[in-house]
Structure 1
Amino acid sequence: MQNKYEKLFEPVKIGNVTLKNRFVMAPMGPQGLGDSVGGFNQRGIDYYVERAKGGTGLIITGVCFVDNEAEHHSMPSTPCPTINPVHFTRTAREMTERIHAYDAKVFLQLSAGFGRVAPPVDPDLKPVSASEIMNRWVDIPCRALTKEEIHRIVKRFGEGAAIAKNAGFDGIQIHAVHEGYLLDQFAISFFNNRTDEYGGSLENRLRFAREIVEEIKKTCGDDFTVTLRYSLKSFIKDWRVGALPGEVFEEKGRDLPEGIDAAQLLEQYGYDSLDVDVGCYDAWFWNHPPMYQKKGLYIPYARAIKEAVNGPVICAGRMDNPDLALSAIEDGSCDLIGLGRPLLADPDYVNKLRFGQTELIRPCLSCHEGCLGRMVHYGWLNCAVNPSCARERITELKPVLKKKKVLIIGGGVAGCEAARVLSLRGHQPMIYEKTDRLGGNLIPGGTPDFKEDDHALAKWYENTLKDLSVPVYYNTEVTPEMVRKANPDTVIVATGSRPRVFGLGDDSKVFTAEEVLLGTRDPGSRVVVLGGGLVGCELALWLKNNGKEVSIVEAQDGLLKLNGPLCFANISMLLSLIESKGISVYTGSKAIHTTEQGVLIETGAGKEELNADSVVLAVGYDSENRLYDELKYEVRDLYILGDARKVSNIMYAIWDAFEVASNI
């Protein structure tokens, strides 16, 4: 059978390692995947093996530190081969052997440390860096690494690589002349003001990275493959300030000409491949692109590197669209496709693509809620749309002994996820949805072009439930009498939520965000959005992108104050976009009533009238749980899920549904 994506499944070499296809699992922070002695725990092993099982040609682990003296990392932090080499080898060997069983290769990512971008946790320990500069997050000065410390870290890289080689790893990726981590702080003159042989010229600033690859090659042999995570351009406007796409600014970090020169030098030093992106912690929304960045955003930068070096180039960064990935390979922009978050969302992405089942690939939303959001807040790597990510063993679905007829009321994400899991286990679920499509709040939420993957998730549920032969009854509002007549074994109420509304006097021009997003109400050309949470801010951005004059009125003292564990990359980019596009923001303010000209608001400075054709409410949702209350004394096996239970976000609707459906 002809597959249009055959070129993505051609074998390709990195150094002396031959990969079965062009797909690479991009390195992502392995929080929660290591144990207290520096090895991989069972969750970590299962997590990486699952992606190899799913068809990925090369697995690159998340960051593993080689040194714990210059920069202290409390354990369990991430795996570390040099803390207890025997234990590391024991746990890693199990993982590499299992990965190799699926004809995949695996590289260990080794790190010199975070430097100025590490959040300080001990007031008595100064963070380290190339020079005495300020920490990224707080006003604490870093101390400069001594030459003795640099030499020790270089030695540890050689030791760590040798241990990794013995543990079955096929190669090493160095973390990183990328994203402003410690090696990058040495490489970028904005951070490096040293006067010794590790500062000054570009060659001196790259000396640390050069000595690392030379030490590994000396220890493990010239034929042992070493790659480098590399950022071509920094996008730093100033300390802790990043530039937006298309913005004209003076680059304070690494700019393109020096980035290309550095790439050529790094290849000369012995790096077999460059894994390319752009950005820095001061411009974090480049390295960790939220949905507000376009798909394939690194392709032009990968192409610039590809034209300058001889070795293979890896390009990640929202590359989940297979047509985009194919075009990047065909036009020579890169040699390999990096998939990070898409493999969290669907570990079987590569096999599904190989078999032509693109409609069954679960999409990544670029929301960062399950991955970076939970990593920062809870020290744990997960995925919003895939509850099994990094929990593969404990969430393994168990077949049922007795099939149950399960009536699911509501076809939002909670109802759909429950039906999916129940069907996989052998139950007989059926969904009743009052509208003409599945998805619930994904439908209005996915209207802005930058939220296209919300609609893709709704479509994925539709395709998956069809593939599982789950019956879905549309345009059907369930009543208690219908439930009694159906006589199901189990009932799941997933009736969602309704937008919160309140009167403002003349409400003829007061609409809900949902009405505007669905196109049932025309907001006019001048719009005041009440509510500066995620819904309100994204609505305002979308309206502004469509030529509207927009203001946001928020009662809190800032925007995005009452949301879940949003990733800093998403927050900072969304706030920067709101500012750069000239959206007026009134915080610590509330609407009083509508006027003939618009709406009267009360601010900290007094009352002010805003001209507006419409006032759009984005002030939250209330649970729609009336049907549950009517059934709770009649149905013994009754559950309430999603917003109907508690108004939250996509992640917790899916996760709660998975939990309940796994145990019915």
Structure 2
Amino acid sequence: MTQTLLAPAACLTNPLHTRPALDRLSSQQPTGFELPVTSQTSPFPHLFTPLKVGRQELPNRILMGSMHTGLEEQGEEGLARLAAFYAERARGGCSLMVTGGFSPNPEGRLGAEGGFLVDADASHHQQVSDAVHAHGSRILLQLLHAGRYGYQPDIVAPSPIRAPINKTTPREMDETDIQRTIADYARAAQIAQAAGYDGVELMGSEGYLINQFTAPRTNKRDDRWGGSFENRARFPVQVIKAVRAATDPQFIIMYRLSVLDIVEDGSPFEEVAALAKLAENAGADILNSGIGWHEARIPTIAQAVPRAGWSWATERLMGKVEIPLIATNRINTPETAEQVIADGHADMVSMARPFLADANFAGKAARGTPEEINTCIACNQACLDHYFKGKDATCLVNPRACRETMLTWKPADTARKVAIVGAGVAGLSCAVTAAERGHDVTLFEAATQIGGQFLLARHIPGKEEFNETLRYFRNRADAFGVSLMLNTRAEAATLADFDDVVMATGVAPRVPDIAGVDHPCVMTYEELLSGAREPGKRVAVIGAGGVGVDVAVHLVERGLRSHLDPAEFRSTWGVAREPEDHAPSHDVVLLQRSTGKMGAGPGKTTGWVHRLVLLRANAEMIADVSYRRIDDEGLHISVGNEDRLIKCDSIVLCAGQVSVNALADSMKADDRPVHVIGGASFAGELDAQRAIEEGTLLGSRL
């Protein structure tokens, strides 16, 4: 049975900022807060109250949490890029940050090419700590031993139990392995100190090695390292003591405590609280929260999780230790962070992905201009999905993340008149980048508001965060003087006087060639999500890619607020009790032509959440479908050699997109130069990451 815990209410803030942006500086020069910010001068007084951590004092309560970017495995070149990455966040006002994970020894590596610390690494890592210290910030190196989560052949664990997300069974550690590993942690901390890091974070959560020792689920030993809680807690306590003894007193030890395992046979709260106190007594200066193991089947950071949806788990430990506690997961705005601290849920907040989205998050919050923040939308598409596909991490809404040495731009030598047709995210990113460089930009949009496909996507449960991206682009456009022509359809003659013309006219839903597709019961996903058409009770969705799955989730979760309300989230997912059944608002049948896994279109690290939602709503999912016809009876299909009738009230077409580029084609036919980006260039599956990246790249070189 999934671990169940009583949970107090948590905060939820979801503002839509409307104040105009004030920041007019280049993206190459992120702004910090040069003037002192105190709790008396900040609009977020709790967030900007100093905090004592060990023997050091931090100017604010914001932690940039650890993110594995893929650069950690790339040697000196990767470290040079990491130095630029962290320096930009330090310059942007972040007072304390944690690197991605480095293993203390070879068997603890995340993968075959994973980074682990040796003595020679100190000089290479010095560039990272120096870059951060140059801007007055502090940085910790995370020590992470993967244990049974490692994707390489030499993995070890407390007990030889294979992880359900891994194909390799670990070797059980003997006494010699355990003692050597404890010593390796101490040696790695010494290397980090020699490299100039201000401390280390010991990764004791999310199901990695230290957590594998503490949880009955993975520790089946009958020696002094297993069995009773005292024995299972011995390994983390000995690691902390060894690191404390090997480093200077001012060296910060942050222990990442699994405050909630969310797996069967995880640690009960009584043991979590006891371990917190043991960690403090062993020498930890501050406790960071870890939520859930990677094998847990409850979302912890995806869009399905409401803002600050897990802060209650940290709040239960408040008062049980004297060192500071950090809350984490889905805290993506300064308003939310302020509320977490004001409500007494934590002493500090950790925000990892929000610093991918905006390097200047802290500085903008300190200046009282949160509307300027490029908000993390919790999509995972370019950060976690990239990493697990073997790519460098970046950010959908900020293509410069982790590419600070590669994607740069400077003011234009000559200001040009630039016309951009289409105010979806491709056109918006191009417009603000070009205008920031000094070009005179006019943005034409046939609709009455900006956003394109983002306007539709924001109606999907959890994707309300897309409103924040549109707010950010609108404010940036205002700040840099983009002339926004809404409700205006550009024509070739309109564009004659511009030096550069960019077509970002986007896509339209593809209408498949099915007999009867013009039947009154048929609608496109655009008609459904825009509210132009209302579906009946039983709905067939044609197409199970990302759009089809999103539409299906939208249909079964209409009226539910589990992605917005922490209490409803816990009820829906069974965190505080057994999951409660919610009758779906619509009965859904999801269909696809291919024989592959249903719903494989969504992201690697989030698709499983959507599939679980649909399974729990009893949505029927049918693959290997041939569409025969649509008539008054419903949708006629064949599955293999069997004909079947899907009786339904409505049919929603999610069968792909086609580019809208008639204007671009006509201009090319007249030999007029034109740039085509985003969906207008290639429809495919909707890809906001590619659209924003293409717009940014073009805007940077016009």
Asked whether the two chains share a fold, i.e. TM above 0.5, the reply is: yes
- Deviation per CA, 1:461-500, whole angstroms, max 9, x where unpaired? 111101111101111111222223xx21111111100101
Matches within 5 A, 1:14-413: 14-36=53-75, 41-69=79-107, 74-75=112-113, 77-78=114-115, 80=116, 82-85=117-120, 88-111=121-144, 113-120=145-152, 125-175=153-203, 177-236=204-263, 251-283=264-296, 286-287=299-300, 289-413=301-425
Give the Cα separation in 1 of the matches to 2:550 and 2:109.
39
Q: Which runs of 5+ in 1 are unaligned?
A: 237-250
Are residues 1:657 and 2:689 paired?
no
| Contact 1:59-1:105 at 8 Å conserved across structures | yes
| Contact 2:79-2:128 at 8 Å conserved across structures | no
Give the Cα separation in 2 of the matches to 1:580 and 1:117.
28
| Contact 2:461-2:553 at 8 Å conserved across structures | no
State the Cα distance separating 1:267 from its structure 2 match.
2.5
Match of 2:438 among 419, 426, 433: 426
DSSP 3-state at the match of 2:142: strand
| Contact 2:92-2:363 at 8 Å conserved across structures | yes
Code of the residue aligned with 1:25 in structure 2: it is M
Give the Cα separation in 2 of the matches to 1:563 and 1:426.
39
- Deviation per CA, 1:419-454, whole angstroms, max 9, x where unpaired? 111111111121111101111100011112411111
DSSP 3-state at the match of 1:133: coil
State the Cα distance separating 1:195 from its structure 2 match.
1.9
Are residues 1:10 and 2:49 paired?
yes
Shift in CA distance, 254/90, structure 1 to aligned 2, threshold 3 Å: same
| Contact 2:108-2:146 at 8 Å conserved across structures | no
| Contact 1:489-1:637 at 8 Å conserved across structures | no
Per the alignment, residue 247 of structure 1 pairs with: none
Per the alignment, residue 481 of structure 2 pairs with: 469
Per the alignment, residue 589 of structure 2 pairs with: 551
Give the Cα separation in 1 of the matches to 2:380 and 2:622.
27
State the Cα distance separating 1:559 from its structure 2 match.
4.9
| Contact 1:129-1:144 at 8 Å conserved across structures | yes
State the Cα distance separating 1:72 from its structure 2 match.
8.2
Per the alignment, residue 11 of structure 2 pairs with: none
State the Cα distance separating 1:272 from its structure 2 match.
2.0
DSSP 3-state at the match of 1:507: coil
- Deviation per CA, 1:240-261, whole angstroms, max 9, x where unpaired? xxxxxxxxxxx33223333233
Give the Cα separation in 1 of the matches to 2:73 and 2:671.
44
Shift in CA distance, 200/562, structure 1 to aligned 2, threshold 3 Å: closer
Give the Cα separation in 2 of the matches to 1:430 and 1:5.
36
Please, what is the CA RMSD of the aligned residues? 2.1
Q: Write out the 4+ residue segments of structure 1 that deviate beyond 6 Å after TM superposition.
A: none
State the Cα distance separating 1:34 from its structure 2 match.
4.8
DSSP 3-state at the match of 1:41: helix
Give the Cα separation in 1 of the matches to 2:130 and 2:438.
33
Shift in CA distance, 166/55, structure 1 to aligned 2, threshold 3 Å: same
State the Cα distance separating 1:562 from its structure 2 match.
6.0
- Deviation per CA, 1:395-432, whole angstroms, max 9, x where unpaired? 12122111111111111111110011111111112111
Match of 1:567 among 595, 604, 629: 604
Code of the residue aligned with 2:289 in structure 1: it is V
Matches within 5 A, 1:435-450: 435-450=447-462
Shift in CA distance, 332/605, structure 1 to aligned 2, threshold 3 Å: farther
Match of 1:593 among 629, 646, 659: 629
Per the alignment, residue 568 of structure 2 pairs with: none
DSSP 3-state at the match of 1:329: helix
| Contact 1:530-1:619 at 8 Å conserved across structures | yes
| Contact 1:126-1:140 at 8 Å conserved across structures | no
Per the alignment, residue 659 of structure 2 pairs with: 623
Code of the residue aligned with 1:115 in structure 2: it is G
- Deviation per CA, 1:563-593, whole angstroms, max 9, x where unpaired? 37x232x011111111112222222224432
Give the Cα separation in 2 of the matches to 1:201 and 1:22.
36
The 10-residue stretch of structure 1 (22-31 or 472-481) with the greater mean CA deviation from structure 2:
472-481
State the Cα distance separating 1:126 from its structure 2 match.
4.4
| Contact 1:276-1:298 at 8 Å conserved across structures | no
| Contact 2:598-2:623 at 8 Å conserved across structures | no
Shift in CA distance, 580/230, structure 1 to aligned 2, threshold 3 Å: same
- Deviation per CA, 1:325-377, whole angstroms, max 9, x where unpaired? 21211121001111111110001111111112111111212111110111111
Code of the residue aligned with 1:442 in structure 2: it is F
Code of the residue aligned with 1:662 in structure 2: it is S
Code of the residue aligned with 1:64 in structure 2: it is F
Are residues 1:489 and 2:499 paired?
yes
Give the Cα separation in 1 of the matches to 2:50 and 2:598.
46
Code of the residue aligned with 2:429 in structure 1: it is E
- What number of residue pairs does the alignment pair up? 633
Matches within 5 A, 1:596-611: 596-604=632-640, 606-611=642-647
Per the alignment, residue 30 of structure 2 pairs with: none
Code of the residue aligned with 1:266 in structure 2: it is A
| Contact 1:534-1:560 at 8 Å conserved across structures | no
| Contact 1:3-1:354 at 8 Å conserved across structures | yes
The 10-residue stretch of structure 1 (551-560 or 528-537) with the greater mean CA deviation from structure 2:
551-560
Give the Cα separation in 1 of the matches to 2:284 and 2:477.
46
Give the Cα separation in 2 of the matches to 1:545 and 1:299.
24
Give the Cα separation in 2 of the matches to 1:377 and 1:16.
40
Identity of aligned residues (%): 27
The 10-residue stretch of structure 1 (383-392 or 633-642) with the greater mean CA deviation from structure 2:
633-642
Code of the residue aligned with 2:612 in structure 1: it is S
Shift in CA distance, 635/9, structure 1 to aligned 2, threshold 3 Å: farther
Shift in CA distance, 397/408, structure 1 to aligned 2, threshold 3 Å: same
State the Cα distance separating 1:31 from its structure 2 match.
1.1
Match of 1:500 among 497, 503, 510: 510
| Contact 1:302-1:334 at 8 Å conserved across structures | yes
Code of the residue aligned with 1:117 in structure 2: it is Y
DSSP 3-state at the match of 2:47: helix
Per the alignment, residue 244 of structure 1 pairs with: none
| Contact 1:495-1:644 at 8 Å conserved across structures | yes
| Contact 1:40-1:91 at 8 Å conserved across structures | no
The 10-residue stretch of structure 1 (643-652 or 270-279) with the greater mean CA deviation from structure 2:
270-279
Give the Cα separation in 2 of the matches to 1:222 and 1:83.
23
The 10-residue stretch of structure 1 (162-171 or 643-652) with the greater mean CA deviation from structure 2:
162-171
Code of the residue aligned with 1:195 in structure 2: it is D
State the Cα distance separating 1:275 from its structure 2 match.
0.8
